[in-house]
Amino acid sequence: MIAALKQFQLDGAGATSEEKDKNSVSLKLEGKPFDALAQFLALMETQHAALATRMDMKPAAKPGAVDAQITLER
């Protein structure tokens, strides 16, 4: 998953992940581009069978960016 976050430039400052168990991870992303996040979620579903089972999202200060808390599960 780390590689996918890097691929869509969602890693680095404002990004944290916490593995809940072997099939579940929680992501917290702050000020990340919405379009990149949508592409990341599509990749996780189609190539890794990981679905977003919980998502809270709000606009960030920068136009086109969002703050999101997401739980992905297989």
Q: What pLDDT does residue 71 have?
A: 97
CA distances from 53 to 9, 13, 34, 41, 47 (A): 22, 24, 18, 11, 17
- 27: part of which helix (H) or strand (E)? strand 24-33
- pLDDT for 1: 80
pLDDT (0 to 100) of residue 28: 97
| pLDDT for res 31 | 97
The mean pLDDT values, 10 residues at a time, for the chain of 74 residues are: 91 93 95 97 95 97 97 96
Residue 63: strand, helix, or coil: coil
Q: How many angstroms separate the CA atoms of 10 and 22, rounded?
A: 22
pTM of the shown model: 0.91
